[in-house]
Structure 1
Amino acid sequence: MLQPAVLTVAAAALVAAQAPSYAPIRVDCPSDPLLGRLGDPTQNNQTLPPNEQTYMDKRRNDVLPDLWRSYLEDSSTGSTGYSASDIVNSQPNLGIAVSGGGLRASLYGAGTLSAFDNRNSSSAGGLLQLASYLAGLSGGSWTVTSLALNDLEPIYALVTGENSSRAGGWLLDRDILAPSGLLGFGDNSAYYQALEEDVRAKAAAGFPISITDLWGRALAYHFLNETTEENFYSTDAAHDQGTLFSSIRYAPTFQSGSMPYPILATTSRIDESQQLTNDSTSVIPLENTAFEITPYTFGSFEATLAAYIPIEYLGTQLSNGQPTNSCVNYFDNAGFMMGSSASLFNAVQEGFVGATFSSLLSNLLQAVTDLDPPEGSVALVANYPNPFQSYQPFTGYSFESSGNEILQVTDGGEDGQNLPLMPLLAKARAVDVIFAVDGSADTEFNYANGTSLVATAQKVELYSHNFTRFPDIPHNQQEFVDQGLASRPTFFGCNVSDANMANYSNYPIIVYHPNSAEATPAGSTNYSTFKLSYPDEEVITFLNSANEYAKRGYPDPATPNQPDEQWPLCLKCAIVDRARQRANISRTDACQSCLDRYCWSPEIADQLVNATQTAQNNSAAASPSSSPDDSSGAVPALAFPLGGLVGAAAAALVGGLALYV
């Protein structure tokens, strides 16, 4: 059994934006049931958690109509030719997904979101403010959490600290695991001691701990708001040790319904038998339940669970929905939630024995051991007392971890889905269009190539009852590359005739925006996933490159690096296309022309292959000695048959790139 925590307080104490320490506490249980069900998606009655429904009703009724009207009437982003009132009355429902990939993905997501901030006059439109949902995974979860907990502060101010209400910014010049550099033993030692003391308090309170706790505390120094250049090594500063993910609710923009609903994506494993193999493209099977973390809930829409626990009671162990002991508050530490979404340490546990256990991993594991973890703690994954133990979904499926006392939570991309699309595909959320910001390291030189889209399409096929259909996409990553779809933005799901609207409008359009060598300056956005610090000049260059790419489209595979001045209009046409269909409005000539350029369908695959091959031949003829760009200084990923973050992790550790302690 998990050890009981030593402190019990009244349930009234749960309403707080800050916990007194990193350690969760025991509280009296509420009279209402702690486990909420999300309906039976197999019977088409999937529902939202009540608090999320209330928030979204407020946002869609009180906030979004005026924003959509302003966006549609903004002449600087072009005119669709549609009546703004008609589109607003059939309000579009936009989601944004920011991929994993360490700090590279965080910065790529940040630069892209800045381009779509309506406070920036040069942006391509205020998609950030228009979005109903903003989902992040792993490195993308750091951007989403930082943005939400800092009240949707403008991106450049948030990241750099300049002209900011915060003192420090992200402080990316200080390495996450060795902020004083490899030889900065004194300051590094104080830093590690501070991290360990916080985690020690959690262990002493009887809660399982792991390497993810140390990792999450380190992330908090950068992405939350209490750490500055001046107090970075101070052991007296709080460094957000008590900041809760649920405290997003207290941000003024959230209170007013002006914030996209933030979601962090994770996945889970049953036990250590689910491990990395050399012939796999993922660590965790797609069949495993993926979880999401929101300001109100922790749970999953997937048919294997279709349930949630209120996030303020996360950490409470339940058996068939009933508490086995007292209840828990303050488990939803914001750093730990970010760390959970990026907990990839198990991905390199097996299959590379010897090389994998570099001094970094070995020392962190030793630190966990020295902290005297409670019995049952699992070292290489995030440990959650299982709220879904002995739980049986209504759906007829079984929850694979129902027999576990500890729910083992891992990096959200370990099943191959490095883009957090699944939360945005839940039928109850009815998302029309997803802007997919893919900063994955799928390729040898740390660019994206569609791996995550392929994995998500496969997952949807497994559990088609509780998710919307997925649009047609190429069958595999090689087809993405051959057709030039990894080199520029592409719209999937919009080449559907209005006559078939009833059959096709129930799945979203995917606006795929991959990090691309062709669309960004050489070496500016393709750093290694395991690059854990960025000098100030690299941060600005990265943000600028991603920002500029997001504001300019590249529709022609024959000239993939030629910007499209009509990109803001074409994007607008895609964003409102499902609402246009619902309003029974024909596409205008302007939008039809745009979507002809950006929409993908199987019928044009051969044409795209030919155009892409022609472009490559022309490029080779113009520069016969050229080779794939690697001017970033990042060591290319080794030839492991792995996608996204997992491949980068294995390559980085095997290559000795992460020997920080």
Structure 2
Amino acid sequence: MLGSSTAFTLLLLSGAASTAFGPTFQRCPADFQLVRRGQTISAAESQYIRDRREKVLPDAFKAYSQNVKRTRIELPKYVEEILESTQFPTVGISTSGGGDRAAIFGAGVLNALDGRNSSSVKKGTGGLLQAATHLAGLSGGSWLLTSLVQANFPTIQHLMFGDGKKQDFGGWLTSFSVWTVSTDPAEQAIFADEILQEMAVKAKHFPVSVGDAWGRALARHFTNGTTVDNFFSNTSHGAGILFSDFTNLPTLASHEQPFPIIVLDIVSNHINGTIFPGKNGIPLNSPMFEVNIFEMGCYDDVLAAHTPTKHLGTTNESLCVTGFDEAMFISGTSSNLFSERNNTASLAMSTANFSLLVNETYPQSPGLRIDTSNYPNPFHGIAPDTFSDSVETILSMCDGGEDGQVTPLQPMLVPDRKIDIIIAIDAVRARAKIIRRVRLARR
């Protein structure tokens, strides 16, 4: 039962309809394709990168080159040749997991690479962010990535601290714990009830879990719609912010942002294999998934299939779902460690309470995992000989680093992306490093 929160439930329900968001159904477009097979990137991503290289990167690399030269640091000849060449390299930035620490550390590194930061410009690092082609994040790094993209690519200072106008985005609210936001039982109960009621529309049509509650809680900390003043009020708290809608943002429409990618892992009952040492729970032979603004999918040989991000939740080519791809639900999936914690004695009580609250409010079938983030499987029946979860109707997804890949390098290694240099932001070891990929085929 909801205990002390019950008294607030009817009050919240009375106003929930005005702020309730969730997936909707409509007839699929005539040219709709549920699954795209292959290990090439989508035509939409290819076009975005081509436009960015033609319209943005020439000036971005020129500005970065000038910033480097102003430092008067002697560079290796090949570096000078690269910076002065019109055939500039393809640069990807990968920012790691690690919770709040990863988000904050990653933000600091991006700030050091930002050409809008005068201090970074003087040091010769500013401008490399603008010259990057791709930006990938997982777990805590996905919080940074999602927050940065949905806020229309502001400076890191404005992203983290707000613009001072106290409108719909007051900066990151990391002073609040994600789960236990108040020591006042009544206030904490209001928070819990709000989280649960915000899941109501989705729960009518789709299986929900603690992953949905996690995404709703994270949205209060990292997306537009929440300030300190309205943290406990019954507002949308970013519920209508969709990952696929990022394409409409001015800085993405003008190709000013690096192409954003979030990494996920799958929790499978069918896959057994070696698990990377440490606090990991996913076998190394499990396929890796990613979500970008156009597609969710897997480039690994075992599946090599993709589905439109805009229509996540769709499982056929007749009735299409929209609104399933809530930004912080996806980012929350990439940071969902509850399946791992449920297998240990260190399960946090607050997490256990939310799992119980979700299942009590929206009872699920006994066979459904309530500790993962659950996606209707668009790849049902696809590659049955190699993709073991082809038989499942639900994909149980979790933290993108549970297979040991704490820094999301995999999206940068997709051959068709032709990435030359990877800047890896490793918040676990608190360092940033550059990986230079040499592709003989292109030299």
TM-score, length-normalised on structure 2? Answer: 0.87
Q: 1:506 to 1:101 in 2, by over 3 A?
A: farther
C-alpha contact (below 8 Å) 1:69/1:85 kept by paired residues: no
The alignment-based identity, stated in percent, is: 37
Q: 1:136 to 1:505 in 2, by over 3 A?
A: same
**How far did 1:87 drift?**
4.2
**How far did 1:272 drift?**
8.8
Aligned to 1:193: 193
Aligned to 1:379: 370
Gap regions ≥5 residues in structure 1: 1-18, 40-45, 441-446, 449-487, 495-503, 508-580, 583-661
Aligned to 2:9: none
**How far did 1:35 drift?**
3.4
Aligned to 2:11: none
C-alpha contact (below 8 Å) 2:273/2:283 kept by paired residues: no
Q: Deviations over 1:279-300 (max 9, x none)?
A: 7652101111111111111111
C-alpha contact (below 8 Å) 2:312/2:322 kept by paired residues: yes
C-alpha contact (below 8 Å) 1:276/1:347 kept by paired residues: no
Q: 1:300 to 1:94 in 2, by over 3 A?
A: same
Q: 1:33 to 1:305 in 2, by over 3 A?
A: farther
Give the Cα separation in 2 of the matches to 1:278 and 1:86.
38
Give the Cα separation in 2 of the matches to 1:95 and 1:414.
22
Q: Deviations over 1:215-240 (max 9, x none)?
A: 000010111111011111001x1111
Q: 1:198 to 1:84 in 2, by over 3 A?
A: same
- Please show how residues 422-571 of structure 1 align to structure 2 within 5 Å: 422-440=410-428, 447=429, 491-493=434-436, 504-506=438-440
Aligned to 2:5: none
Larger Rg: 1
Aligned counterpart for 2:96 among listed residues 94, 99, 115: 99
C-alpha contact (below 8 Å) 2:400/2:406 kept by paired residues: yes
Query: In structure 2, what residue type is equivalent to 1:219?
Result: L
Query: In structure 2, what residue type is equivalent to 1:337?
Result: I
SS of residue matched to 2:141: helix
Q: 1:170 to 1:490 in 2, by over 3 A?
A: closer
Q: 1:250 to 1:21 in 2, by over 3 A?
A: farther
**How far did 1:276 drift?**
11
SS of residue matched to 2:198: helix
Query: In structure 2, what residue type is equivalent to 1:24?
Result: P
Aligned counterpart for 2:49 among listed residues 56, 66, 72: 56
Aligned counterpart for 1:346 among listed residues 339, 343, 347: 339
**How far did 1:374 drift?**
4.5
Aligned to 1:316: 314
Aligned to 2:352: 362
**How far did 1:358 drift?**
3.8
2:150 maps to 1:149? yes
SS of residue matched to 2:103: helix
2:409 maps to 1:421? yes
Q: Deviations over 1:61-102 (max 9, x none)?
A: 111011112212333244645666984421210000000010
**How far did 1:176 drift?**
1.3
SS of residue matched to 1:122: helix
2:70 maps to 1:76? yes
Aligned to 2:174: 172
Aligned to 2:395: 407
C-alpha contact (below 8 Å) 1:276/1:349 kept by paired residues: no
SS of residue matched to 1:328: strand
Give the Cα separation in 2 of the matches to 1:371 and 1:23.
17
Aligned to 2:87: 90
**How far did 1:372 drift?**
2.0
SS of residue matched to 2:137: strand
Gap regions ≥5 residues in structure 2: 1-17
SS of residue matched to 1:327: strand
Q: 1:425 to 1:59 in 2, by over 3 A?
A: same
Query: In structure 2, what residue type is equivalent to 1:32?
Result: D
Aligned to 1:627: none
SS of residue matched to 2:402: coil
> Aligned-residue CA RMSD in angstroms?
2.6
**How far did 1:166 drift?**
5.4
SS of residue matched to 2:217: helix
Paired residues, what number? 416
Query: In structure 2, what residue type is equivalent to 1:391?
Result: I
Give the Cα separation in 2 of the matches to 1:505 and 1:275.
31
Give the Cα separation in 2 of the matches to 1:234 and 1:98.
32
Deviates more, 1:79-88 or 1:212-221: 79-88
**How far did 1:377 drift?**
3.6
Q: 1:179 to 1:57 in 2, by over 3 A?
A: same
C-alpha contact (below 8 Å) 1:313/1:331 kept by paired residues: yes
Q: 1:344 to 1:317 in 2, by over 3 A?
A: same
**How far did 1:200 drift?**
2.3
- Please show how residues 158-169 of structure 1 align to structure 2 within 5 Å: 158-163=159-164, 167-169=169-171
Give the Cα separation in 1 of the matches to 2:340 and 2:82.
50
Give the Cα separation in 2 of the matches to 1:260 and 1:279.
32
Q: 1:152 to 1:358 in 2, by over 3 A?
A: closer
Q: Deviations over 1:533-591 (max 9, x none)?
A: xxxxxxxxxxxxxxxxxxxxxxxxxxxxxxxxxxxxxxxxxxxxxxxx94xxxxxxxxx
Give the Cα separation in 2 of the matches to 1:86 and 1:153.
26
Give the Cα separation in 1 of the matches to 2:349 and 2:70.
53
Query: In structure 2, what residue type is equivalent to 1:367?
Result: L
SS of residue matched to 1:409: strand
SS of residue matched to 2:401: coil
Q: 1:85 to 1:286 in 2, by over 3 A?
A: closer
Give the Cα separation in 2 of the matches to 1:20 and 1:30.
28
Give the Cα separation in 2 of the matches to 1:414 and 1:208.
23
Aligned to 1:656: none
